[in-house]
Amino acid sequence: MNKNCLQRLAVGSIALVSGSAWADELNMPVGVTEISRKIYGLHMDIFMVCVVVGCIVFGAMAISIFLHRKSRGAVPATFHESTTLEIVWTLLPAIILVVMAVPATGVLVDIYDAGGEDMVVEIRGYQWKWQYKYLDDDYNRNFDFFSNMSTTQDEIHNVSVKDQNYLLDVDKPLVIPVNRKVRFLLTSEDVIHAWWVPDFGIKRDAVPGMVNELWTIVDQSGTYRGQCTELCGKDHGFMPVVVKVLPQDGYDAWYAAQVKTERARREALSKTFTADELMAEGQRVYDTFCVACHQANGKGLPPAFPGLAGSQVALGPVDAHIRMVYEGVPGTSMQAFGKQLDAAELAAVVHFERHSWGNNTDDVTQPKDVIALMEGQ
Ligand SMILES: [Cu+2]
């Protein structure tokens, strides 16, 4: 620990104890939910207990080192096995621990009380993005979307100036209404991730094959940011969480727009598109879902991630190509995209790969081709 660090620590401790403005910079956030404020209160109470215990213990030590030093002719006491003393120094810490455990348990019980919700959102972790599914009782009002980090590669590679929300921005945030109890169901499609929003005071693991619960009631509208907090592979640091909390009427308008988009998406499954439309949509899907491994120039990052320019699969029979993207390649990082993309998106991205970076297969892939092959219709 260097001097600067020690200074900060000293100033920080004083700031925390005296509750000055400095504390805001160094302390954990108070947050915008009752739970986050309870956690903050607990943190401050227990911090105070630690400060008092620390002062007594280190104070007694400092005083005895100073007053009873050898050069003053101090002679050590000779007593052994003082039963009273041993009872006192066992009971006292035990009592302090119990006193701290009581309020902590109360808050923990509140944190786990996910019942009585107004709405449910399923959160699904993927390498390396989040999917949000709005689970309405009415199937026709259900929809879901992916939330991908939107920080540009140029910012990451220091080519352009870093944004204020560097690595903490997404293309589509989770949107929830203010003052409503939202229950989250957390799970994962691949490895363990963890969903965390410090301002809400909530965080939980997203475990494949399991569903964990989480809930929140946010009482201030605004945009709140968090991150995946479970080491989940190469792009673990690139799957931020962004939550936009809207007033009820703004939220209702947003929800209605999502339902409309979802209707259009479901209709697209039975449409026939032009080659240009497929290329435009395919580019969007590729840039969102494939570019991290196969790269913008289609050359991939061999040997880990094969190039698609000139690839046997991208130039071979279309059925095998669709199947590969739909089912993935088990045991590799090539995922089964049939779970994440619908038939229209799959058709577009397959078409795009067959007509980009010098590939030209002279065919057109439509949603109905994907449905016929993979969904058995
Ligand atoms: Cu993760």
- From the CA of 127, how far away is ligand 1's center (Å)? 6
- From the CA of 198, how far away is ligand 1's center (Å)? 16
Domain boundary among 59, 88, 111: 111
- Whether 2 has a pLDDT exceeding 70, the answer reads no
Q: What's the CATH number where 131 sits?
A: 2.60.40.420
Let me know: does 353 contact 307? Beta carbons within 8 Å. Answer: no
Q: Residues 38, 96: one domain?
A: yes
- Cα separation values, 359 from 69, 251, 293, 297, 313, Å: 84, 44, 18, 12, 11
Domain boundary among 266, 297, 313: 266
Q: Residues 51, 163: one domain?
A: no
Domain boundary among 111, 128, 159: 111
- From the CA of 263, how far away is ligand 1's center (Å)? 30
Place of tokens 């403005």: 21
- From the CA of 105, how far away is ligand 1's center (Å)? 29
What confidence tens digit (pLDDT) does each residue in 99-119 have? 999 999 999 999 999 989 999
Range list of H helices, the chain: 3-18, 22-26, 34-67, 83-111, 153-156, 248-268, 275-285, 291-294, 312-315, 318-327, 343-354, 367-374
Cα 229 to chain centroid distance, Å, stands at 6
- From the CA of 212, how far away is ligand 1's center (Å)? 15
Domain count, the chain: 3
β-sheet bridge partners, residue 208: 188
Note down the domain range covering 320.
271-374
- From the CA of 149, how far away is ligand 1's center (Å)? 12
Q: Residues 246, 184: one domain?
A: yes
Please state, for a pLDDT cut of 70, what percent of the chain lies above it.
93
Q: What's the CATH number where 87 sits?
A: 1.10.287.90
- From the CA of 226, how far away is ligand 1's center (Å)? 12
- From the CA of 129, how far away is ligand 1's center (Å)? 7
Q: Residues 245, 128: one domain?
A: yes
Q: Residues 99, 166: one domain?
A: no
The encoded tokens of residue 80 equal 């052994």
Q: Residues 220, 248: one domain?
A: yes
- From the CA of 197, how far away is ligand 1's center (Å)? 14
- From the CA of 25, how far away is ligand 1's center (Å)? 27
Cα 82 to Cα 175: distance, rounded to the nearest angstrom: 63
| 291 occurs within a structural domain | yes
- From the CA of 331, how far away is ligand 1's center (Å)? 19
Q: Residues 130, 231: one domain?
A: yes
β-sheet bridge partners, residue 126: 129
Does residue 288 or residue 25 have the better pLDDT?
A: 288
Cα 205 to chain centroid distance, Å, stands at 9
| 6 occurs within a structural domain | no
What confidence tens digit (pLDDT) does each residue in 312-365 have? 999 999 999 999 999 999 989 999 998 889 899 999 999 999 999 999 998 999
Q: Residues 176, 253: one domain?
A: yes
- From the CA of 224, how far away is ligand 1's center (Å)? 18
Task: Please give the angle made by the CA atoms of 204, 208 and 214, to the nearest 5 degrees.
Answer: 25
- Whether 375 has a pLDDT exceeding 80, the answer reads no
Cα–Cα nearest to 198, from 184, 218, 221? 218
Cα–Cα nearest to 336, from 349, 326, 346? 326
- From the CA of 208, how far away is ligand 1's center (Å)? 12
Classify the C-alpha dihedral 16-21-22-23 as positive or negative. Answer: positive
Q: Residues 125, 260: one domain?
A: yes
| 13 occurs within a structural domain | no
- From the CA of 193, how far away is ligand 1's center (Å)? 4
- From the CA of 147, how far away is ligand 1's center (Å)? 12
| 15 occurs within a structural domain | no
Q: What's the CATH number where 368 sits?
A: 1.10.760.10
> What pTM was estimated for this model as a whole?
0.73
Q: Please state, rounded to an integer, the average pLDDT across all residues of the chain.
A: 91
- From the CA of 148, how far away is ligand 1's center (Å)? 12
- From the CA of 240, how far away is ligand 1's center (Å)? 9
| 26 occurs within a structural domain | no
Classify the C-alpha dihedral 29-187-335-281 as positive or negative. Answer: negative
Q: Residues 183, 170: one domain?
A: yes
Please state, for a pLDDT cut of 90, what percent of the chain lies above it.
73
- From the CA of 203, how far away is ligand 1's center (Å)? 13
What confidence tens digit (pLDDT) does each residue in 187-196 have? 999 999 999 9
Q: Residues 107, 162: one domain?
A: no
Q: Residues 160, 252: one domain?
A: yes
Cα 48 to Cα 231: distance, rounded to the nearest angstrom: 33
